[in-house]
Structure 1
Amino acid sequence: MLAVGSVLLLVGTGLLGAGGTALAADIGARDDAGFLSSDVQRAASPGYALRSEPVVLADGPADPSGLARFLGDVRVRAHGAGDRPLFIGVAPAAQAAGYLHGVGQGVLRTDTALGLSVTSDDGVAPAGPPAEQRFWAASVTGAGTQSLTWSPVAGDWMVVIMNADGGAPVAVEGTVGATVAALRGLAIGLLVGGGLLLVAGVWLVAAGARPEDRSAAAGVHAGEPV
């Protein structure tokens, strides 16, 4: 009982901490538009485009868009170097990859130790400016800070950032965010689950630490000679 109670106390404390952190983020870390956003990141490539790795939004056959619903609306906000007009688009990964096939580009990768990194490949210029393509699920283009908001659905997707004229090089700074509408429910669930485990753990530890009734253990009853 002591061992099981100690494990429940440990797990319950962890869930309470995670729930408290999630609730604090839900209440205090959102911007005026309701988004939770990353820190400002900078990325550059000598090529003609910066793109993400393909993002697969799927969560099992029974609920193929579960991750998409969890994320809520997604926002990519970026500013080009020197106020150069910028293009941001999200498209089915296969079509975006076809447009960028053989094009000099940088691939954005997230490393937990190093943060955002860019791997650049040499190549030719794209066949035409990005805004002229018709496969984008959502896109924005213009001078200054551009903000793309997209409601994701299940599928394989790619985010592409380019100069509006399709030229090189590409250098931006920006953030990625999401509304994560389910965050408050997740936080409350973690807090409730952690609280229940904590109560159960305290009860088990208290029961396991209770001194044993020595008289009962020795089979001694009232009225029997000792």
Structure 2
Amino acid sequence: MNRFPLRVEARRDAAPSRWLWLVKWLLLIPHYIVLLVLWTGLVVLTLVAYLAVLFTGRYPAAIRAYNLGVLRWGWRVGYYGYQALGTDRYPPFTLADDPAYPARLHLEPDGPPPRWLPLVAWLFAIPHLVLLGALTGAATRQNGVPVSVVGAAVLIAGFALLFTARYPGGLHDLLVGIARWNLRVAAYLTLLTPRYPPFRLDQGGAEPDEPPPDEPVRAAPPRAGSAAGPVVALVAGVLLLAPAAGTGIGGAVLLGLDASRDGAGYVTSPAVQLSTATAAVTAENLTITDAGLWTRNVADVGGLRVTATSPSGRPLFVGIAPESAVDTWLAGTAHDELAALRSGEARYHRADGVTRSLADPAAQPFWISSATGPGTTTLEWNVTDGNYAVVVANLDGTPGVAADVRGGIQVPDLTGLGAGLLTTGIVLGAVAIGLIVLGGVGLGRRHTEPPPPAAGPAGPAPQKVPPATVGS
């Protein structure tokens, strides 16, 4: 059988606890927090390793040791927790191999990855990810209950422990086999090995092709020195990633918004098709607060524009007024209230009442701003604080309204703010990545196997001494 370089081992407890699995999620919270930081570092360092392999053909040894340590840590936590429930021994907080722990993972020496592999490894792994997703991902039933092969197997194993104090051996072997497959694919994606993972579900705690006794597995002992510096750098880098990403994305969004402004400073939404058999369509609960703060201090801001186009060219009316006045006017008259917009499609809530014509909408005295006209009608209004409603109706008030409506809001020039936020995000991101690489490499060096000692200079070959003879 073709030996895969990543070796996954697991030893099931002989007498597991009946109830401990019910609270392991609570006991594992510290590990989950640490693994969140470690896995973030693994993603960043794997991208760095991709670049190193692509341009130099070498996988940095410190990054290899760090990534292997994270996979090893995750496997111990998964075996103790809800990936297998295989042991009640609490996992240690270390990247190093623990020969005494029931769940172990080690990597046999393998050749360097080809330079082209970082470009296609993710693509080659897709078939594995699809199959593993079917085994470990949650598929949703019609009743909304998430189920998966791994989740169902762990749940059955947990209830078996609770009621019989026995862990079915077949379930254990199945769960370890799925975990082994996952770890092999993870090792390939992180380029820990260039060997393509087999499409095999190798079940059981031991590898199907264990090394012979004369090939012992040796783990490099952690090197001396404090790990505080690398740990602080890694944690600081991971914590800095979130504000860096948020700031950079916010800046990019503002620049995109600024690019969509027209000459008057309006950003206009896509058209929404409104249609009703009643006499009006309303958009209610438009609450505006602190409008004066913007309109006093920022030029070219604070305008609201509504453009309605009749597909048939029929004259339309568009008006905005206090919501209380609109509710009083439409009381007893059926109309559609805009409830939601999904993918450009309008959803309505039908207000109770009689389907009838409205009396001359444009002549009502409560409109703050209104517009009428055949074909396309445009309303513009400088916003003020209050609770408002927008009404779209036929100019003559008859039922049967159809219009393509666009909304627009006037915003200031966002070029400077957007560019500043984007630049800040890029700088923070570079600092975060640098700290993560510094911390991950520092931790990886502590667990990197030292190179074999160099051989001394070769001396002259020893001369054979003839045996001594004793004369008579």
TM range (shorter): 0.7 to 0.9
Name the structure 2 match of 1:223.
Answer: none
The gaps in structure 2 that reach 5 residues or longer are 1-232, 447-472
The gaps in structure 1 that reach 5 residues or longer are 59-63, 215-226
Question: What displacement does 1:19 show?
Answer: 1.3
Greater helix proportion: 2
Deviations 1:186-221 (A, max 9, x none): 524532442453254245335535649x9xxxxxxx
Name the structure 2 match of 1:217.
Answer: none
Structure 2 CA distance for partners of 1:86 and 1:37, relative to 1, 3 Å? same
How many residue pairs get aligned? The number is 208
Residues of 2 paired with 1:113 and 1:79: CA distance? 19
User: In structure 2, what residue type is equivalent to 1:21?
Assistant: V
Residues of 2 paired with 1:45 and 1:198: CA distance? 50
Counterpart contact for 2:358–2:398, Cα < 8 Å: no
Name the structure 2 match of 1:133.
Answer: 364
Q: RMSD between aligned alpha carbons?
A: 2.9
Name the structure 2 match of 1:99.
Answer: 329
Deviations 1:47-93 (A, max 9, x none): 111100211112xxxxx337975962111101124211110001111
User: Mapping of 1:76-95 within 5 angstroms?
Assistant: 76-95=306-325
> Within the alignment, does 1:18 sit opposite 2:244 as a pair?
no
Deviations 1:156-193 (A, max 9, x none): 01100111111111111121111222644552453244
Question: What displacement does 1:122 show?
Answer: 4.8
Task: Give secondary structure in 2 for the equivalent of 1:5.
Answer: helix
Question: What displacement does 1:151 show?
Answer: 1.0
User: Mapping of 1:11-160 within 5 angstroms?
Assistant: 11-27=243-259, 29-58=260-289, 64-65=290-291, 69=295, 72-112=302-342, 115-124=345-354, 125=356, 128-160=359-391
Same amino acid, percent of matched pairs = 32
Structure number with greater Rg is: 2
1:201 to 406, 429, 432: 432
Question: What displacement does 1:11 show?
Answer: 3.4
Name the structure 2 match of 1:4.
Answer: 236
Task: Give secondary structure in 2 for the equivalent of 1:103.
Answer: coil
Residues of 1 paired with 2:420 and 2:292: CA distance? 17
Residues of 2 paired with 1:11 and 1:55: CA distance? 31
Counterpart contact for 1:57–1:153, Cα < 8 Å: yes
Q: Which has the higher contact order (CA 8 A, sep 6+)?
A: 1
Counterpart contact for 1:45–1:118, Cα < 8 Å: no
Residues of 2 paired with 1:121 and 1:192: CA distance? 49
Counterpart contact for 2:279–2:397, Cα < 8 Å: yes
Residues of 1 paired with 2:393 and 2:311: CA distance? 11
Counterpart contact for 2:265–2:412, Cα < 8 Å: no
Counterpart contact for 1:35–1:177, Cα < 8 Å: yes
Question: What displacement does 1:129 show?
Answer: 1.3
Deviates more, 1:70-79 or 1:182-191: 182-191
Structure 2 CA distance for partners of 1:81 and 1:199, relative to 1, 3 Å? closer
Question: What displacement does 1:130 show?
Answer: 1.0
Deviations 1:5-54 (A, max 9, x none): 12313431342133123203312x22344321111110111111110021
Deviations 1:132-176 (A, max 9, x none): 111111000121100111111111011001111111111111211
Residues of 2 paired with 1:135 and 1:172: CA distance? 23
Residues of 1 paired with 2:344 and 2:257: CA distance? 23
Deviates more, 1:140-149 or 1:176-185: 176-185
Greater strand proportion: 1
Name the structure 1 match of 2:410.
Answer: 179
Counterpart contact for 1:68–1:152, Cα < 8 Å: no
Structure 2 CA distance for partners of 1:184 and 1:72, relative to 1, 3 Å? farther
Residues of 2 paired with 1:190 and 1:9: CA distance? 14
Counterpart contact for 2:317–2:362, Cα < 8 Å: yes
Structure 2 CA distance for partners of 1:140 and 1:194, relative to 1, 3 Å? same
Residues of 2 paired with 1:154 and 1:195: CA distance? 37
Deviations 1:86-139 (A, max 9, x none): 100011111111111111111112245674222333523366211111111100
> Within the alignment, does 1:170 sit opposite 2:396 as a pair?
no
The normalised TM-score by structure 1 is: 0.78
Residues of 1 paired with 2:342 and 2:358: CA distance? 35
The normalised TM-score by structure 2 is: 0.40
Task: Give secondary structure in 1 for the equivalent of 2:250.
Answer: helix
Deviates more, 1:127-136 or 1:143-152: 127-136
Task: Give secondary structure in 1 for the equivalent of 2:402.
Answer: strand
Residues of 2 paired with 1:131 and 1:100: CA distance? 14
